[in-house]
Chains A and B, each alone.
Chain A
C-alpha cells in the first residue's frame, strides 16, 4: 500500500539555523500539506499546496517558513532561522483531491531546536 514518507525521523538543530524537512507524498496525489504538533498540544495546520503554489496557510506559517516541490516527488518545508518554539513533530500529508478526500499522513519528523 502506498504511503507518505518523511525524512529525517528526528532532526536536532541549533537556534538560528535553517532546517529542511523532506516528504515524499503518494505518487498520484495532487494536494500536499504540512501540520505540526508541539508536545502536549493539538495538531495544527500550517500550509496546503496545490498546482505548485500555496493554496492556504495558517497564521503560524509566517515568513520564516517556506514550502517547495523541487521535483516530481519531494515536498519540502524550510524553516529559515529556527527558534526554540519551533520544536515540534512535523507531519506531511497528501491527498488525491481537495476537501472531500482523505489526507494521508506521514510518520512525522521530530524537530528539536536547542
Chain B
C-alpha cells in the first residue's frame, strides 16, 4: 500500500534560516504529490503540487519542492524562514489507480524563532 513518511514531527529554525521539511513516499509509479499547510485553527491550504511536469515545483509564499524519483522524495524548502511560516505542513501522495484518494503523512510542525 502507498505510504508517506515525513521525517521529523517538529522542526525549529531561526528567522531567516533555510527551511527543509522532508517527505518520502513508497510507490513504483510516480504519483501526484502535494504539500499542504495548516495554520492554527484553520483548514488545509495547498502550497504546491507535482503533476509530472517540471520536477522542481514552485509554490506560494516562496516555498518550492523537488521531485526526485530515484530517492522517492519530495522535500519542501524555503531559502529564508519568516515568522509567518510557523504552521503544520503535510505531504500527501495520490493513491494509485485513479481513486481520487490522497495518502497523508503525519505532519511536521514548523517553529520559527526570532
| Pair from one complex | no
- Mark A residues whose CB is within 8 Å of B: none
